[in-house]
Amino acid sequence: MPGFELFGDTERESVNDVLDNGILMRYGFDGMRNGHWKAKALESELQKTLNTNHVQLVSSGTAAVSVALASAGVGAGDEVIMPTFTFVASFEAIMMLGAIPVLVDIDSTLTLDPKAVEAAITQNTKAVMVVQMCGSMGDMDTLKSICDNHNLIFVEDACQAIGGTYNGKSLGSIADVGCFSFDFVKTITCGEGGAVITNNKDYYLNADHYSDHGHDHMGNDRGAETHPFLGYNFRISELHAAVGLAQVKRLPEFLAIQKRNFNIIKNELATIPEIEFRTVPKGGIESCAFLSFFLPSLEISRKVSEAFKSNGIDVCWNYFDNNWHYIREWHHLKDAKSLYPLSSEIKNALEELKTQNFSQSDFYIGRNISCLIKLSWTEEEVRERALKMRNCINEVLIGN
């Protein structure tokens, strides 16, 4: 991760094929495109790769979450339970539909704590969204059982976890509907793009129509298509899909490199008794896009982060003070800084976030460091990096 590190002839040929053909839009122009359909081809490849019945490409991972929720009937006034540790896109995608983000604590998986989810359910709860942050997963069986018992829609945001599995199933394919991002820094990239995946045909058809202005995509005359319901424009272009099509065919190659680099660093850090790695539920296999571990305290994690920076060890983060990924610094959310008026239900929910106790999440995020695993590292570079990381951590621990 990310796939752009290994761009090559395969990606260039796929993009040039679109440019030579001249049709950049994924829909219509059937007679002019001479059978070239990159988006359709990428959807087919993702179906096989993720072992899912239906795939709908969209313009981004954020769009994928909004389209997935809308396709399942989530809208104004509905509450969607989500974790305190994620990317800002999670609550943005919920609020765009007029729905209400309900943030709850994470546990040592760095994803939703099932007990916190259960406690947050109200008569207005419509969906639970687990976010498979940093390449791993939550307790999927328990979360699914909670959703089944309360008749809730289970949504899986696997934007950072393509290639991970749980009990043999691809992350993203386990819940009622799953979401992926193919932005510039994901394991496979389109530059910009995303996907909604599901085994529910109704959700798929809804996503297909909703993401293209409500077009029903029946027949081969776009101008004659009807609109069963309102929709918006979340289309991916053929150029973006062309990059993704080349990349998804290289996913096994990318995952093998990630796993090698991940294991080299993990094995080195495992020699430090004070380090505890994130919990991976039984039956789970990480995508190895990130290596996440816990140190004894927030103070030590901050010192280790500074030591990493001082010693040229990049792409490692303690998210406690991060304003993109953790609730503490989402002041624009808690202060409801919106360009347009928000509903009273949303404003009331955001006001509550200012005083809500997330000490459990603080306990895990404060001690956590997550390190991106690059594809471009040579094995020698990874081993040097791992040794340097171990030495930095040990020096901080000795000093404390």
What percent of the chain has a predicted confidence (pLDDT) above 90?
99
What is the distance in angstroms between the CA of the first residue and the CA of the last residue of the chain?
A: 33
Cα–Cα distances (Å) from 19 to 3, 36, 246, in that order, read 22, 11, 15
Q: Is the pLDDT of residue 27 over 90?
A: yes
SS (H, E, C) 286-325: CCCCEEEEECCCHHHHHHHHHHHHHCCCCCEECHHHCCCC
CB atoms within 10 A of CB 244: 31
Question: How many domains does the chain fold into?
Answer: 2
Cα 119 to Cα 25, 66, 126, 307, distances in angstroms? 46, 25, 14, 39
> Do 46 and 70 lie in a common domain?
yes
pLDDT classification of 3: cutoffs 50, 70, 90: very high
Burial of 26 (0-12, 13-18, 19+ CB in 10 A): buried
Shared domain for 157 and 295, answered yes or no, is no
Domain containing residue 372: CATH number: 3.90.1150.10
pLDDT tens-digit series, residues 205-247: 999 999 999 999 999 899 999 999 999 999 999 999 999 999 9
- Identity (one letter) of the amino acid at 290? F
In this predicted structure, the answer to whether residue 116 has a pLDDT above a threshold of 90 is yes
* Residue finishing a domain among 250, 270, 292: 250
Instruction: Check whether 21 has a pLDDT greater than 90.
Output: yes
Domain-ending residue, one of 198, 217, 250:
250
Average pLDDT over residues 22-26: 97
Q: Can you say how many angstroms the Cα of residue 210 is from the centroid of all Cα atoms in its chain?
A: 21
Q: Does residue 89 register a pLDDT over 90?
A: yes
Boundary (domain end) residue, out of 250, 280, 298: 250
The pLDDT assigned to 400 comes to 85
Residue 231 in tokens? 């929709």
Structural domain including 17 reads 3-250
225 plus 332 within the same structural domain:
no
Residue in the block written with tokens 């959703």: 147
- Confirm if 26 and 250 have CB atoms less than 8 A apart: no
Q: Does 130 share its domain with 12? A: yes
Q: What is the pLDDT of residues 142-166, one digit of tens each?
A: 999 999 999 999 999 999 999 999 9
CATH code of the domain in which 130 resides? 3.40.640.10
Q: What is the pTM of this model?
A: 0.97
